[in-house]
Chains A and B, each alone.
Chain A
Amino acid sequence: MIPVPFTYQRAGSVAEALDLAAEHGEDAKFLAGGHSLLPLMKLRLATPEVIIDLSGLRDLSYVTDQGSYVAIGALTRHHDVEHSDVLAREVPLLAHAAGQVGDPQIRHRGTIGGSIAHADPASDLPATLLTLDATLVAQGPGGSREIPVGEFFQGLFETSLEPDELLTEIQVPKPAAAGAWSFQKFTQRAIDWAIVGCSVQDGRVGLVNMGGTPLRAAAVEAALADGAGPADAAAHAAEGTSAADDIRATRVYREHLARVLVSRALTEAAARA
Chain B
Amino acid sequence: MKVDLTVNGNDVTADVEDRMLLVHFLRDVANLTATNVGCDTTSCGACTVLLDGESVKSCTVLAAQASGHEITTLEGLAHDGEMHPVQRAFHQEHGLQCGFCTPGMVMAIVSMLKENPHPTEEQVRQGLEGNLCRCTGYHNIVRAALAAADEDKVTA
Contacts and interface: CB of A to CB of B under 8 A. Distances in A.
B65 A55 contact: yes
Interface stretch (B37-45, B82-90, B92-100, B148-156): B37-45
Contact of B130 (A1, A7, A79, A191): A191
Contacts of A53: 62, 64-65
Interface in B6-43: 17-19, 21, 24, 40-43
Interface string A1-16: 1111111101000000
A5 B1 CA distance: 12
A35 B64 contact: no
Contacts, number: 79
Contacts of A7: 18
Contact of B45 (A1, A38, A105, A109): A105
A194 to B, nearest CB: 14
Contacts of A3: 19
B72 to A, nearest CB: 13
Nearest to A50: B18
B19 A4 contact: yes
Contacts of A229: none
Nearest to A191: B129
Nearest to B49: A105
Contacts of A108: 51, 54-56, 111
A5 B62 contact: no
Given A2-B21, A8-B18, A190 B42 contact: no
Given A104-B111, A191-B129, A109 B64 contact: no
Interface in B91-112: 108, 111-112
A104 B127 contact: yes
Contact of B60 (A2, A34, A55, A190): A34
Contacts of A109: 56-57, 60-61
A106 B45 CA distance: 10
A42 interface: yes
In terms of DSSP, what is the predominant structure of the interface of chain B?
mixed
Size bracket of the B interface: 20 to 34
Size bracket of the A interface: 20 to 34
A38 B130 contact: no
Given A35-B42, A42-B40, A10 B19 contact: no
Contacts of B73: none
B10 to A, nearest CB: 22
B68 to A, nearest CB: 9
B60 A35 contact: yes
Nearest to A102: B130
A3 B131 CA distance: 23
Interface in A2-32: 2-8, 10, 31
Contacts of A42: 40-41, 59
A3 B40 CA distance: 12
B42 A6 contact: no
21 contacts: A1-B40, A2-B19, A2-B21, A5-B18, A5-B19, A6-B19, A7-B18, A31-B65, A51-B18, A102-B130, A103-B131, A104-B55, A104-B111, A104-B129, A105-B57, A106-B57, A108-B54, A108-B56, A190-B129, A191-B43, A191-B129
What are the 9 closest A-B residue pairs judged by CB atoms, nearest first?
A: A103-B130, A8-B18, A190-B129, A103-B129, A108-B54, A8-B64, A105-B130, A3-B19, A105-B57
Given A35-B42, A103-B131, A105-B45, 6 more contacts: A2-B21, A8-B1, A35-B60, A38-B62, A103-B130, A105-B48
Interface of B: 1, 17-19, 21, 24, 40-43, 45, 48, 51, 54-57, 59-62, 64-65, 108, 111-112, 126-127, 129-131
